[in-house]
Structure 1
Amino acid sequence: MNVPNIDALIARIKAEAASQTEAQAELQTTAQAAGAEFVQLPPVRLPRAAAPRNPRDRLYGTTDDAFVDEVYRLMLGRDADPAGMRNYLDRLEAGEPRLAIAARLRLSGEGRARKRWMPGLGMAIGLVLAQRVLDRLRLGRIPAWLLRRLDRRCAARAGAEGLPLAVSELRHATQKGFASWHHALQSLSSLTLRHERALQAVQARVTTLEADLAVAREDARYLREVASRQGGGAPAPMAPPLLAPDLIDAYYVAFEDANRGSREDIRAKLAVYDDWLDQVASAGGTVADIGCGRGEWLQLLGERGIAARGVDTNPVMVDLCRAQGLNAETGDAVGWLRAQPDASLAGITAFHVIEHLPFEYLYAMVVEARRVLVPGGRLLFETPNPENLLVGSHTFYHDFSHRNPVTPAAIRFLLSYHGFGDIGFVRSSPYPAEARVPGDDPLTERVNGHLCGPQDYAVIARKPAPAAATASGAQA
Structure 2
Amino acid sequence: MIEPDFLHTTRTAYDTWAARYAELFANGLEDFPLDRAMIGAFAAFVHAEGGGPVADLGCGPGHVTSLLDSLGLDVSGIDLSPEMIAIARAARPDLRFDVGSMTALDLADGKLAGAMARYSIIHTPPEQLPAVCAEFRRVLAPGGHLLVAFQAHDDPSALTESFDHKVALAYRWSPDRVAALLTETGFTEKARLVRAPLTDERPFPHAHLLLTKT
> Please, what TM-score do these two structures have when normalized by structure 2?
0.78
1:268 shift after superposition: 4.2
For residues 188-227 of structure 1, what are the structure 2 equivalents within 5 Å? none
SS of aligned partner of 2:192: strand
CA distance in 1, matches of 2:84, 2:192: 28
SS at match of 1:340: coil
Q: Read off the aligned partner of 1:253 and give its amino acid letter.
A: A
Q: 1:419 maps to what in 2?
A: 186
Corresponding residue number in structure 2 for 1:330: 99
CA contact (8 A) 2:17 2:167 kept: no
1:277 maps to 43
In the other structure, the counterpart of 1:256 is: 21
Match of 2:116 in 1: 349
- In structure 2, C-alpha distance between the alignment counterparts of 1:280 and 1:255, rounded to whole Å: 32
Letter in 1 for 2:98: E
Equivalent in the alignment of 2:211: 461
SS at match of 1:308: strand
Match of 1:428 in 2: 195
Contact 2:103–2:131 under 8 Å retained in 1: yes
CA distance in 1, matches of 2:208, 2:9: 33
405, 410, 420: which one aligns with 2:172: 405
Deviation at 1:350, TM superposition (A): 0.8
C-alpha distance in 2 between matches for 1:246 and 1:252: 10
**Structure 1's 245 and 301: CA in aligned 2 closer, same or farther, altered over 3 A?**
closer
**Relative CO higher for 1 or 2, CA cutoff 8 Å, sep ≥ 6?**
2
Judge conservation of contact 2:13–2:168 (CA < 8 Å) in 1. no
1:265: how far off? Answer: 4.9
CA distance in 2, matches of 1:281, 1:379: 13
Shift of the 335–419 alpha-carbon distance from structure 1 to 2, 3 Å rule, reads closer
Alpha-carbon deviations, 1:399-439, whole Å to 9, x = none? 3523432111210111111121134311235336xx7xxxx
Output one character per residue of 1:171-226: Cα deviation in whole Å (capped at 9) or x when no partner.
xxxxxxxxxxxxxxxxxxxxxxxxxxxxxxxxxxxxxxxxxxxxxxxxxxxxxxxx
Question: Aligned pair in 2 of structure 1 residues 245, 268: CA closer, same or farther (>3 Å)?
Answer: closer
Match of 1:66 in 2: none
Report the TM-score when normalising by structure 1: 0.37
What secondary structure is seen at the aligned counterpart in 2 of 1:264? coil
Please give the alpha-carbon distance, in whole angstroms, between the structure 2 residues aligned to 1:430 and 1:300: 22
Amino acid at match of 1:329: D
Identity across the alignment (%): 27
Q: Distance in 2 between matches of 1:299 and 1:263?
A: 11
Give how far 1:280 is off.
Answer: 1.4
Match of 1:335, SS? Answer: coil
1:55-84 deviation digits (Å, cap 9, x = unpaired) = xxxxxxxxxxxxxxxxxxxxxxxxxxxxxx
The aligned counterpart of 1:382 is 149
Secondary structure at the counterpart of residue 399 of structure 1: coil
Provide the secondary structure at the position in 2 that maps to 1:333: coil
Q: Which has the larger radius of gyration?
A: 1
* Secondary structure at the counterpart of residue 357 of structure 1: coil
Give yes or no for contact 1:428–1:456 (8 Å, CA) kept in 2: yes
User: 2:194·2:206 contact (CA, 8 Å) conserved in 1?
Assistant: yes
Greater strand percent: which structure? Answer: 2
**How much does 1:335 deviate?**
1.8
RMSD: 3.0
**Is the counterpart of residue 365 in structure 1 residue 132 in structure 2?**
yes
Matched, 1:266 2:37: no
Q: 1:262 to 1:427 in 2, by over 3 A?
A: same
Distance 2:141 2:150 in 1: 24
Letter in 1 for 2:66: Q
Report the Cα offset of residue 307 of structure 1.
Answer: 0.5
Q: Using the alignment, how far apart are the partners of 1:368 and 1:249 within structure 2?
A: 22
Which whole-Å deviations, capped at 9, do the CAs of 1:102-135 have from their partners, x for residues lacking one? xxxxxxxxxxxxxxxxxxxxxxxxxxxxxxxxxx
Is this contact kept in 2: 1:267–1:296, CA < 8 A? no
